[in-house]
């Protein structure tokens, strides 16, 4: 059982930045931790993921160049640094984990077993 808790959401203006955190109940070597989001009226979509054993990262096209996923194993915490935010980035953001995968991590919601409760990000124009 992997327990995750997101934090760091908030409201920013277009072009601003936020750093989301995903705290794990303990450090897990060789798992995928993904970031997902769900905007009102839309399906949940993957944003970025990291394989904890090798720091291998995966990004969707909308996240490349603006978002960075990283980990701090000493703090059992994963981060999603989001820069150059746009109104279309407004969504509830979730982190999720799956044990014993092979890198690179996938970004399909069905590929992940454990989920946090989410943190809201709102970007105003």
pLDDT in tens, 19-38: 999 999 988 888 999 999 99
Q: What does the pLDDT read at residue 115?
A: 97
Q: Which residues of the chain have pLDDT under 50?
A: none
Distance CA 62, CA 17 (A): 15
Distance CA 79, CA 47 (A): 12
Q: What does the pLDDT read at residue 27?
A: 83
User: 68: which 2 tokens?
Assistant: 């960075």
Q: What does the pLDDT read at residue 102?
A: 82
Distance CA 44, CA 42 (A): 7
Report the relative pairing of strands 119-124 and 10-13 from DSSP bridges.
parallel
User: 94: which 2 tokens?
Assistant: 């979730």
Peptide bond into 104 cis (omega under 30): yes
Distance CA 69, CA 63 (A): 10
Q: Using an 8 Å Cβ cutoff, are 94 and 114 in contact? A: no
- Contact residues for 61 (Cβ-Cβ < 8 A; gap 6+): none
């Amino acid at each position: 059982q992997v327990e995750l808790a997101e934090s760091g959401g908030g409201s920013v203006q277009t072009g601003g930045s936020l750093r989301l955190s995903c705290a794990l109940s303990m450090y897990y070597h060789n798992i995928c931790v993904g970031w997902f989001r769900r905007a009102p009226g839309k399906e949940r979509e993957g944003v970025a993921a990291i394989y904890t054993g090798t720091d291998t990262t995966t990004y969707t096209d909308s996240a490349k160049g603006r978002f960075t996923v990283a980990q701090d194993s000493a703090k059992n915490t994963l981060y999603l640094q989001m820069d150059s935010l746009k109104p279309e980035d407004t969504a509830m953001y979730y982190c999720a984990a799956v044990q014993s995968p092979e890198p690179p991590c996938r970004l399909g919601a069905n590929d992940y077993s454990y989920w946090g409760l989410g943190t809201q990000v709102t970007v105003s124009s």
